[in-house]
Structure 1
């Protein structure tokens, strides 16, 4: 088991969440891959999108069916944000793209949770690698991360 997956497992357990991590050999790198592996709707995949506000990490946990509107996130944060490159993501979160979990990060971050996730149960999120996910609920993601529920979806 990778250190990243073990870090997520430790964070889940420390937050009082069951260890629901599952490994899928064919991979869960994209929301569609994860939905196919798990056998759920792509909307139920809680994908982690890392944005950058200067040196501040901004994590958006979005429904796998939605694209994140960077302008909406910037407005909520009150400062400009931009997409982060893969090296920076790994350096500041401790996770590679495709395995960025909502918990167990290497550094503090600001978190927004897609309001559309709140109507879905269960949801599945990356667990530290492009082959591991964990089952949870949107309410648990809010509780464990302290994230702010917000409209972050592209479009109306």
Structure 2
């Protein structure tokens, strides 16, 4: 169901974008980077979190880590990651295939500025062996994302891109 909802999303909103299905798992940043031939930072990971009573998605570069202080400041509360079952129920996508496309229910989507280091990123596409190649700004526009700055870069320093 999840892969189909992503394909339906692209058929309606961006028919020129093709969902890539890999023969191996792309469920982690490392596996996805290997399967798709890109550097880990270019993988756009989607994180589902709860802040207070709100659930939201944050899309960030694959090698970035969330900074809890910056996240509290940006979203007004302590971020809590949802467990795999909650993520699947809320997004309609399994962990490892979570993306901001074809969601089971509308959720606010935020793109971290860390993504702007790349013109094109590779987010998952609703299954643990699928992805799409998409321009950063186009992805944000398609999902109505707001930009945020809540990540540390790969070396642990605060991202300032």
Inter-partner Cα distance in structure 2 for 1:54 and 1:104? 24
Q: Of the candidates 1, 7, 10, which is equivalent to residue 8 of structure 2? A: 10
Q: Of the candidates 18, 21, 33, which is equivalent to residue 20 of structure 1? A: 18
Q: Does 1:106 align with 2:108?
A: no
Instruction: Show the counterpart of 2:83.
Output: 85
- Give the TM-score normalised by the residue count of structure 1: 0.91
Inter-partner Cα distance in structure 2 for 1:49 and 1:17? 25
Q: Mind listing any 5+ residue stretches in structure 1 that lack a counterpart? A: none
RMSD: 1.4
Instruction: Show the counterpart of 1:117.
Output: 115
SS in 1 for 2:6: helix
Deviation at 1:55, TM superposition (A): 4.4
Deviation at 1:40, TM superposition (A): 0.7
In the TM superposition, 1:137-156 aligns within 5 A as 137-154=135-152, 155-156=157-158
Deviation at 1:54, TM superposition (A): 4.0
- Give the TM-score normalised by the residue count of structure 2: 0.89
Q: Mind listing any 5+ residue stretches in structure 2 that lack a counterpart? A: none
Count of aligned pairs between the two proteins: 154
Larger mean CA deviation between 15-24 and 138-147 belongs to 15-24
Inter-partner Cα distance in structure 2 for 1:62 and 1:105? 18
User: Residues 54 and 24 (structure 1 numbering): CA distance in 2 closer, same or farther, change over 3 Å?
Assistant: same
Deviation at 1:103, TM superposition (A): 1.0
8 A Cα contact 1:44 1:121, kept in partner: no
Q: Does 1:29 align with 2:32?
A: no
